[in-house]
Amino acid sequence: MLREAVARLRDGRWLVIVIALAILAGAIAIAGRIATGQATNDLRDSALAALPLAAGTLTGEIEKQRLVPLVLARDDAVRGALRRAGKMQEAALNDKLKAIAGDASASAIYVIDTAGIAISASNAGEPTSFVGIDYNFRHYFNEAMSKGSASQYGLGTISGRPGLYLASRVDDNGKPLGVAVLKVELDGVEANWRSSGFLVFVTDERGVVLATSQPEWRFHALAPLSAEDAAAAHEQLQLPDAAFEPLPIRRGAGDGLATIDGPGKPRQFVEVVQDLSGAVPGWRLWLLTPADAALSSAANTARLTTLLGLLLTGMLAYVFTRRRRTRRLRQEALARMNAELESRVSTRTAELTHSNIALAGEIAERENAEAKVRRLRDDLAQANRLSILGQIAAGVAHEINQPVAAIRTYAENAGRFLETGKTEPASGNLTSIVSMTERIGAITNTLRTFARRPGVAASPLPVREAIDGALSLLSGRIRDSGVTIVKPRGTASPMVMASRIRLEQILVNLLQNALDAMKDQPDPRIEIDLAQRDDRVLISVRDNGPGLGPEAAGNLFMPFQTTKEKGLGLGLVISQEIAQELGGTLRLDPDSTRGASFTIDLRRIE
């Protein structure tokens, strides 16, 4: 009987031990799983924070390079070369394209005629020159000819190096002349990605890897391609022999984790993706954050903490059970230990809460900074107008000072006349004061109107009103400089559809440049001419200053190109953009024999 009781007791203890060990193992496994999930979420948040930076590095490079073919499509030298394509060598244009390619860090820039033959290139004269090569088979050429612009990623026909081709159609009065093309190789972007510590790559609409921080992944695919997609990829990328092997990536079941197979042990990554169709149609950017170390550390820490916690809890429970009937002091000591443990947990919880609040504040500050950047970009044109306003403020103050002095004199005289009872001359002085205040009001209203941010809508506008407004704004400076202003002959004022403030801003920019150019010039003179040709109105501003050299004239409408010591090189660029918004153009007249002449070409309305 006794032996049976002892055996039953031992069996009961082993059962309790087995159950306790099972609970302990289950709790440790659950803690590791929860910690792994939390670490995965933290890594995903980190990857999502880094994703816009990685995408911005690529899209910023593309958008910067996209401007070059757009500008070349409007360049008179490019249009002239395409008009006479095949008739003469384009050495000057080759040199110009080579200089632009160097400044823009482009791999190559070239111009193709309507037959698909490259007539000029930045690498002309080199063994790998594009001049004379037929690009009629390229998608970017045919798409640009039909739609106006295009982009294509693929291997170079001559160089054999991959790159992104950006193309813009060159038109002449609505007639296509050819295509301006820029090739940009993304080596710098890929190097930036590699230095970030993340795995980054870009895929096209078929899932083929194009740009990547892992060079050996280039031209692999996210998944096996169908025969139709493989054929299309071969043609699009100019890769007739590419196998488009699948990437060594295995994705989890909706947990955001990806496993990369390779030499040695498979590695885990947290994967995020961003659509880049706004920059290049069909492109997507993938960013993979290494997760092995973080997940292993989080899981091990959670398991160890859980083990220690459960062991401590079990030990406390055992001691409490064994000695709950003993001394009160021991019970109080155990209560203090529990209270201390709870205090530490509360302190840690408060620290985590504070960290979360601080993180939310940093996110709000970043969003606020991004909003400020957008507002600064939108205010660029307004800042240019206010800069001009500041330059002419001294002259306007001088203009106002004279009628103010006259008002004072008239007021004093009117007071004396009223004291002596002479009301008629006093009334005349008061009338003069009213006239002077109207003059001051006209001056300040011109300033206020010019400084106001213009509305979007245009309206019918007599051209002479804009010319008179610009001359009124600059009247003080014109008088002080001693420059002779020759206004348009006659009294006719053709009508155009425009915003007066925007047209005045163009004229003030041109007049300011002319006044700057004629400092220390003998007999300075500015002629403003107004002409009508068919349905066009031409406003010309000509000075008799030293004029512009060939190099300055060629870069005149390029951003940040200026001949002034303190100039920003944005005035003419902004003026040209305003003229285009008004449905017209701003150009430098090529037939100037002395000085510089600019013409604003706008559509005339009845």
pTM above 0.85, yes or no: no
Please give, one letter per residue, the 3-state secondary structure of 138-161.
CHHHHHHHHHCEEEEEEECCCCCC
Return the minimum-mean-pLDDT range out of 119-128, 296-305, 328-337, 539-548. 296-305
Q: Is the per-residue pLDDT at 276 higher than 80?
A: yes
1 belongs to a structural domain? no
DSSP secondary structure code for residue 215 in this structure? G
483 belongs to a structural domain? yes
Query: What's the confidence (pLDDT) of residue 383?
Result: 54
Q: Is the per-residue pLDDT at 384 higher than 70?
A: no
Question: Residues 505-545: pLDDT tens digits?
Answer: 899 889 988 888 888 888 899 999 999 998 999 999 999 88
Higher pLDDT, residue 217 or 255: 217
Q: Is the per-residue pLDDT at 395 higher than 70?
A: no
Closest CA to 274 of 79, 54, 91, 512: 54
Q: What is the mean pLDDT of residues 125-151?
A: 89
Q: Which residues of 154-166 are buried (b: 16+ CB within 10 A; e: fewer)?
A: bbbeeeeebbbbb
Phi, psi of 60 (to 5 degrees): -65, -40
Q: What is the CATH number of the domain that holds 142?
A: 3.30.450.20
**What is the maximum alpha-carbon separation in the chain?**
144
Question: Residues 444-475: pLDDT tens digits?
Answer: 655 555 555 555 467 899 999 889 888 887 87
The residue among 239, 272, 290 that closes a domain is 290
Which residues have C-beta within 8 Å of that of residue 127, sequence separation ≥ 6? none
118 belongs to a structural domain? yes
Residues 114, 107: contact at Cβ < 8 Å? Answer: no
**Residue count of the chain:** 606
Confidence label for 600 from pLDDT (cuts 50, 70 and 90): very high
Residue 534 neighbours by CB distance under 10 Å: 6
Query: What's the confidence (pLDDT) of residue 540?
Result: 93
Which residues have C-beta within 8 Å of that of residue 558, sequence separation ≥ 6? 71, 569, 573
Query: What's the confidence (pLDDT) of residue 424?
Result: 82
Query: What's the confidence (pLDDT) of residue 398?
Result: 47
- Token pair listed for 202: 């870009």
Q: How many domains does the chain have?
A: 2
374 belongs to a structural domain? no
Q: How far is the C-alpha of 424 from the C-alpha of 431, rounded, in Å?
A: 11
Site of tokens 């809460």: 353
Q: What is the mean pLDDT of residues 190-198?
A: 88
Higher pLDDT, residue 407 or 361: 361
Q: Is the per-residue pLDDT at 245 higher than 90?
A: no
Query: What's the confidence (pLDDT) of residue 373?
Result: 47
Give the type of residue at 176.
P
Closest CA to 48 of 215, 205, 256: 256
Confidence label for 594 from pLDDT (cuts 50, 70 and 90): confident
191 belongs to a structural domain? yes
404 belongs to a structural domain? no
434 belongs to a structural domain? no
351 belongs to a structural domain? no
Query: What's the confidence (pLDDT) of residue 285?
Result: 93
Distances (CA, A) of 231 to 151, 238, 243: 19, 10, 10
Q: Is the per-residue pLDDT at 388 higher than 80?
A: no
Domain extent, residue 488, equals: 455-603
Q: Is the per-residue pLDDT at 375 higher than 80?
A: no
Return the minimum-mean-pLDDT range out of 5-9, 139-143, 376-380. 376-380
Return the minimum-mean-pLDDT range out of 71-75, 447-451, 546-550. 447-451
Confidence label for 359 from pLDDT (cuts 50, 70 and 90): confident
Confidence label for 479 from pLDDT (cuts 50, 70 and 90): confident
Query: What's the confidence (pLDDT) of residue 27?
Result: 75
**Radius of gyration for the alpha carbons in the chain, expressed in angstroms and rounded:** 38
H or E element at residue 290 = strand 284-290
Q: Is the per-residue pLDDT at 406 higher than 80?
A: no
The residue among 239, 256, 290 that closes a domain is 290
Q: What is the CATH number of the domain that holds 561?
A: 3.30.565.10
Q: Is the per-residue pLDDT at 585 higher than 90?
A: yes
- Token pair listed for 64: 């910067």
Closest CA to 427 of 436, 416, 439, 414: 414
Q: Is the per-residue pLDDT at 415 higher than 50?
A: yes
Q: What is the mean pLDDT of residues 78-96?
A: 78
Strands 267-275 and 257-260, sheet pairing: antiparallel
Extended beta strands in 88-174, E state: 108-113, 118-121, 149-155, 162-172
Q: Is the per-residue pLDDT at 78 higher than 50?
A: yes
Report the share of the chain in percent with pLDDT over 90.
Answer: 14
The residue among 274, 290, 306 that closes a domain is 290
